[in-house]
A and B are shown apart, each in its own frame.
Chain A
Amino acid sequence: MLIGIDVGGTFTDGVLFDNGSIVTSAKKPTSENNLKDSLLQVLDALLINTDKVKIDRIVFSTTLVTNLLATGRGQKTALILIPGHGLPCLSYEISPDTYFLKGSIDFRGRQIEALDRKEILAVADKINNSGIKRVAVAGKFSNRNHSQELMVRKIIQEKYPDMLVSISSEISGKLNFPRRAVTTYFTAMTLTEWNKFADEIEAALERRGIKAEVDILKADGGTIPLEVSRTKPCETVFSGPAASTMGAVALSMDDFNSVVLDIGGTTTDISLIISGQPLYASKGARIEEQLTHIDAFAVKSIPLGGDSLVAYDNGTIKVKPERKDAAACFGGKWATVTDAFNIYNSMNLGDTKASVAVLGQIADNAGITVDSLCSQVVQNVIAHLVANINGMFTAWENEPAYKVWEVINKRKFKLNRIIGIGAAAGAIIPAVAEKMKVDYLVHEYSPVANALGASVVRPTLAVNLHVDTQNQVFTVDPGGINGKLDHPTKFQLTDARELARKYLVKIAQDRGIEKYAADSEFYMEEQFNMIRGWDRIGKLFEVGVQIAPGFIEEYKGVKI
């Protein structure tokens, strides 16, 4: 049996899934100050009448790291940068405690300027004197050569063994130094809290006698073992929207182009599924207004949900972004979007009379009929959703391209279907689909698709290899591995593929997810001849291989 729990901003959802169907589900309000308790409450609700021994796997997604960063409860962290030449240092002042060091590496991984040991020690002293015990170090092009970052960490830790130093080459190997610095900085800030949380969860599961595999959902729609997540807290951000999107994929399991609308109480999250694969944010997840190197789905969140208020203000009918309560038909006191759709589409949701009563008051104030009020609200909501959906298509179609092939085969999004998930999907999706003239899918599991998604997704792992045959070196991400090539002159693309695959298998083994390695696929290949004069002096390769987002073997879909 599988358990998936999504600790969301307002509610925590959980499902117990077995043999193609949801055995039981649970929903509790999320207590923002104690996510662990919210999670365990839902877990315990799922465990009633369940044989704990039969639970094979528990996956959860949480907003812990997002909350820590949003509320400034991360640990105070100093940021040490080795920016070399280029943009002014000013543009990299991410932390209030940012320090800049001499030193520089270029795009080929060559050292341009050496570090200055005295300067490093002086910075370490300053950090220590300010009472900070946590340091993030990031160097420009450290993804091509990590030696300077390693040296800085070594020098600091020799003098201050209790200082915890995170270095950027171990966090990400992608180009984009500021994003690498931000990701490392956020990692350092949340590492302790996240580990405390992981400890508590492990202890709580042990107390309950649960020996299942425990995984954390990541923003890229895959999981990592809880143990592995301890060094990568930032990968857990935005796992809620990822759970929803993967839930939509789990419900559909085909290769159509879909838009996913996750309509909650106060917000709607929009994501795209292109030929069955969720679309990634091209620039990585944005945390606290800062771009990071966290792979995340492209999710657009708009402040409009099933519980958004309907009001009559200054002579106009308005849909307000705020939520006061549940919809009137579900026991709330106020007229909401759900109530309007309930009446407009004659859906008989909950207590329809309650919907009519609250809407009636507003209609009276506005001097119109309830039907006309509902119609206006519905048109307003649909127009808003459709505009945002189209905005996402356009943004995707307009992403830059760097190859002739990409421009000639220009992408164009042809929508096949809308998949509605979240509590209010049933009321709103059919009308949106009608407006856009496409099919829709709202499944009986739609209200808990997020938790369902979490329970059945498989681990993901993307390994990126960069090879420079002239300098006879290679680097591997994740982990910031730097290696020496054995036979640089004979090295070909096939060798690069083999090397990348070798590291994928090795890292998968280290993480205990090797059974998925056989399913890995190459998602990126670049090969450049380096010509100086008229001679080839070497080759550069960039190869990416991944275990893409998908589902565990046992999962074969749900009954439609």
Chain B
Amino acid sequence: MKPTGILFFPAFDWAISPTHPEREERLLYTRDQIFEEGIMDLPQIKEYQPGLADLKDIARVHFCVPDIESQITEAHLISAGSALVMADAFMQDEVKNSFAIIRPPGHHSMTVSHGNRGFCNINNEAIMVEYLRKKYNVKKIAIVDTDVHHGDGTQEIFYHDPDVLFISFHQDGRTLYPGTGFMDEAGGPLAYGSTINIPLAPGTTDSGILYVMDNLVLPILDEFKPDVIVNSAGQDNHYSDPLANMAFSAQGYARLNTKLAPDIAVLEGGYSVETALPYINMGLIMAMAGIDYSNLSEPDYKPERFKESERNLAYIKSIVKKQLDLFRHREEVVAKNRKDAEYFHNYYKQIFYDTDYIHEEQQNRLRMCPDCCGFRIINSSAQHRNGQLYRVLCIAIPVNACQQCHAEAISAYADMVKNGDAFDLIYLQDRVNDEYKVLDITSSREIVL
């Protein structure tokens, strides 16, 4: 039996600020616990060294404003790079599955990155997904986000992509950051049903979440038949997490992982650094490696402490029914949308960067293509913390774009190079040719990655 790959990168010398939840101490006790257990010495585990992502790996997903370097630190390159190391280990059959226990996290980062949102600057899972498609030609990928916060960044990045199924369960957005992740956010018009949100009431317990797994997540995965399953493995559903209000346990997380059986798991949030993280991370490692975790629990855990209420269970059942129904009818809806479509689908979006206090405004145009999921043009503007206002135009070509979309997007970029005076920067993200351009209008300097 092949081992489970583990990459532990606690970034002991990196913090957003000294007292921020995303600080040096975050994985300290996890280090103590997994090292003291000696689990890395077991033959079922293979430990990996961190890697560094290339700027191109980031450009494949993000439009960083004004450039990649100003949105990231070395820690971000390592965190994203480490997810890629785990992807390589899995794809090259060195391991049966892999788990990147890394920080900084990424799942709140969206396509355009003006700054830090929800402790994230760049999206580790999204970077890994595009890397899997580019390097290994993986067709269908499912991302299951088990962080307590809605994975709004990952959702936005793959919102129009029918080949990437994004499932997120989280504490209801009416009660928690980022305030999104409702059931009607179900994917763009050409990718309807490939985004599934499961907003849960505060206080939901192990049995509630495992009910969602058994009756919604697993059946959907069964029908979607992804080539790779990625777990965006946030740990803040824990009953002791200081930033949220759920009642999930380490045992619950381990059982969830066993059921989900992800190919690659990537740590996201989780800020109960002493009471939860050491035990959840142990539980996830054990679950992925197929080691019996019945002896694992938090010091203060009592099985009888949390019990799912009848009322909440009924609510959960109603969500499950509704979302299963939505997923199963997704193809009809997409067909209808395509038939009724105008040339472009336009929508407006406002994005708030809580950490950096930036308000971004976006005008999106999606080509409603009969043959592919369409290229997208994002007109984005935001005033950065330093007072500088940036107006940028971003053209994104999906990896599976049809020839015509590809040609149209390229010519749109060529046109903007001549007539883009209203903008500071023009971006072209050509995933088909794996080429990424950014043009600085003022200096006429173009950088190609």
Interface residues of A (CB under 8 A from B): 83, 85-91, 104, 106-108, 112, 140-141, 175-179, 283, 291, 398-405, 407-408, 526, 528-531, 533-536, 540
The residue on B at minimum CB distance from A286 is B41
- List chain B residues, Cβ under 8 A from A529: 18-19, 23-25
Which positions 146-182 of chain B face chain A at CB distance < 8 Å? none
| Contact, CB under 8 Å: B35 / A176 | yes
- List chain A residues, Cβ under 8 A from B294: 88
- Most chain A CB atoms below 10 A, which of B11, B39, B50, B279: B50
The listed residue (B7, B11, B299) touching A85 by CB distance below 8 A is: B299
Would you call B47 an interface residue if the criterion is a C-beta within 8 Å of the partner chain's C-beta atoms?
Answer: yes
Give me 30 A-to-B residue pairs in the complex whose CB atoms sit less than 8 angstroms apart, sorted by A's number.
A85-B299, A86-B282, A87-B37, A87-B38, A87-B296, A88-B295, A90-B292, A104-B299, A107-B29, A107-B32, A107-B36, A107-B278, A108-B274, A140-B36, A141-B36, A175-B32, A176-B35, A176-B41, A291-B41, A400-B47, A401-B49, A403-B11, A403-B13, A404-B75, A407-B9, A528-B24, A528-B28, A529-B23, A534-B19, A536-B19
| Contact, CB under 8 Å: B23 / A531 | yes
Complex Cα spacing A85 to B278, Å: 11
The residue on A at minimum CB distance from B24 is A528
- List chain A residues, Cβ under 8 A from B242: 533
Q: How many residues of B contact A (CB 8 A)?
A: 48
Which positions 1-57 of chain B face chain A at CB distance < 8 Å? 7-14, 18-19, 23-25, 28-29, 31-33, 35-39, 41-42, 47-50, 52
**Taking the nearest CB of chain A, how far is it from the CB of B228, in angstroms?**
24
- List chain A residues, Cβ under 8 A from B80: none
- List chain B residues, Cβ under 8 A from A104: 299
5 cross-chain pairs, A with B, having the tightest CB-CB distances, nearest first: A107-B32, A178-B38, A175-B35, A112-B299, A88-B292
Would you call B78 an interface residue if the criterion is a C-beta within 8 Å of the partner chain's C-beta atoms?
Answer: yes
Complex Cα spacing A526 to B37, Å: 21
| Contact, CB under 8 Å: B19 / A87 | no
The listed residue (A107, A283, A535) touching B33 by CB distance below 8 A is: A107
| Contact, CB under 8 Å: A179 / B23 | no
The residue on B at minimum CB distance from A89 is B295
Q: A89-B295, A91-B42 are in contact. Are A535 and B19 (CB under 8 A)?
A: yes
**Taking the nearest CB of chain A, how far is it from the CB of B196, in angstroms?**
34
| Contact, CB under 8 Å: B31 / A399 | no
- List chain B residues, Cβ under 8 A from A402: 8-12, 31
| Contact, CB under 8 Å: B78 / A404 | yes
Complex Cα spacing A283 to B6, Å: 16
- List chain B residues, Cβ under 8 A from A535: 19
Q: A91-B42, A178-B38 are in contact. Are A86 and B8 (CB under 8 A)?
A: no
Given contact pairs A86-B296, A401-B50, a sample of 5 additional A-B residue pairs in the complex whose CB atoms are under 8 Å apart: A91-B291, A104-B299, A402-B10, A408-B78, A533-B242
- List chain A residues, Cβ under 8 A from B279: 85
Q: A88-B295, A176-B36, A401-B49 are in contact. Are A283 and B41 (CB under 8 A)?
A: yes
Complex Cα spacing A106 to B52, Å: 34
The residue on B at minimum CB distance from A144 is B32
- Most chain A CB atoms below 10 A, which of B38, B242, B274, B292: B38
| Contact, CB under 8 Å: B50 / A531 | no
**Taking the nearest CB of chain B, how far is it from the CB of A100, in angstroms?**
10
**Taking the nearest CB of chain A, how far is it from the CB of B181, in angstroms?**
26
- List chain B residues, Cβ under 8 A from A531: 18-19, 23, 25
- List chain B residues, Cβ under 8 A from A175: 32, 35-36
Would you call B223 an interface residue if the criterion is a C-beta within 8 Å of the partner chain's C-beta atoms?
Answer: no
- List chain B residues, Cβ under 8 A from A407: 9, 50, 52, 74, 78
Complex Cα spacing A140 to B37, Å: 8
The listed residue (A179, A291, A400, A536) touching B48 by CB distance below 8 A is: A400
Would you call B297 an interface residue if the criterion is a C-beta within 8 Å of the partner chain's C-beta atoms?
Answer: yes
- List chain B residues, Cβ under 8 A from A179: 38, 41
Complex Cα spacing A408 to B274, Å: 28
Complex Cα spacing A179 to B279, Å: 20
**Taking the nearest CB of chain B, how far is it from the CB of A539, in angstroms?**
10
**Taking the nearest CB of chain A, how far is it from the CB of B39, in angstroms?**
6
Complex Cα spacing A180 to B215, Å: 44
Would you call B286 an interface residue if the criterion is a C-beta within 8 Å of the partner chain's C-beta atoms?
Answer: yes
The residue on A at minimum CB distance from B6 is A400
Complex Cα spacing A533 to B13, Å: 21
Complex Cα spacing A535 to B242, Å: 13
Complex Cα spacing A83 to B37, Å: 9
| Contact, CB under 8 Å: A86 / B9 | no
**Taking the nearest CB of chain A, how far is it from the CB of B50, in angstroms?**
5
Which positions 291-319 of chain B face chain A at CB distance < 8 Å? 291-297, 299
- List chain B residues, Cβ under 8 A from A88: 291-295
- Most chain B CB atoms below 10 A, which of A107, A179, A408: A107
Q: A85-B295, A108-B274 are in contact. Are A177 and B23 (CB under 8 A)?
A: no
Q: A88-B294, A400-B50, A531-B23 are in contact. Are A106 and B299 (CB under 8 A)?
A: yes
The residue on B at minimum CB distance from A283 is B41
| Contact, CB under 8 Å: A85 / B296 | yes
- List chain B residues, Cβ under 8 A from A399: 49
Q: A85-B295, A88-B291, A404-B11 are in contact. Are A528 and B37 (CB under 8 A)?
A: no
| Contact, CB under 8 Å: B12 / A403 | yes
- Most chain A CB atoms below 10 A, which of B10, B12, B293: B12
Complex Cα spacing A530 to B32, Å: 15
- Most chain A CB atoms below 10 A, which of B28, B279, B294: B28
Complex Cα spacing A126 to B354, Å: 62
The residue on A at minimum CB distance from B293 is A88
Which positions 125-139 of chain B face chain A at CB distance < 8 Å? none
| Contact, CB under 8 Å: A400 / B8 | yes
**Taking the nearest CB of chain A, how far is it from the CB of B332, in angstroms?**
49
**Taking the nearest CB of chain B, how far is it from the CB of A496, in angstroms?**
16
- List chain A residues, Cβ under 8 A from B32: 107, 141, 175
The listed residue (B9, B12, B37) touching A177 by CB distance below 8 A is: B37
| Contact, CB under 8 Å: B36 / A87 | no
Q: Mark B51-69, 1 if CB is under 8 A from A, else 0.
A: 0100000000000000000
Complex Cα spacing A533 to B271, Å: 11
- List chain A residues, Cβ under 8 A from B299: 85, 104, 106, 112
The residue on B at minimum CB distance from A284 is B41
**Taking the nearest CB of chain A, how far is it from the CB of B106, in angstroms?**
16
The residue on B at minimum CB distance from A528 is B25
Complex Cα spacing A334 to B300, Å: 69
Complex Cα spacing A448 to B445, Å: 66
**Taking the nearest CB of chain B, how far is it from the CB of A149, in angstroms?**
14
The residue on B at minimum CB distance from A104 is B299
- List chain B residues, Cβ under 8 A from A536: 19
- Most chain B CB atoms below 10 A, which of A104, A106, A283: A106
| Contact, CB under 8 Å: A86 / B37 | yes
- Most chain B CB atoms below 10 A, which of A175, A408, A540: A175
| Contact, CB under 8 Å: B36 / A398 | no
- List chain A residues, Cβ under 8 A from B293: 88
Complex Cα spacing A528 to B13, Å: 10
- List chain B residues, Cβ under 8 A from A87: 37-39, 282, 286, 291, 295-296
Complex Cα spacing A404 to B74, Å: 7
**Taking the nearest CB of chain A, how far is it from the CB of B295, in angstroms?**
5
- List chain A residues, Cβ under 8 A from B50: 400-401, 407
**Taking the nearest CB of chain A, how far is it from the CB of B293, in angstroms?**
8
The residue on B at minimum CB distance from A90 is B292
- List chain B residues, Cβ under 8 A from A140: 36-37
The residue on A at minimum CB distance from B242 is A533
- List chain B residues, Cβ under 8 A from A112: 299
The residue on A at minimum CB distance from B52 is A407
| Contact, CB under 8 Å: B36 / A400 | no
Complex Cα spacing A87 to B278, Å: 13
- List chain B residues, Cβ under 8 A from A528: 12, 24-25, 28
Complex Cα spacing A529 to B293, Å: 31
| Contact, CB under 8 Å: B25 / A176 | no
- List chain A residues, Cβ under 8 A from B291: 87-88, 91
The residue on A at minimum CB distance from B32 is A107
- List chain A residues, Cβ under 8 A from B37: 86-87, 140, 177-178
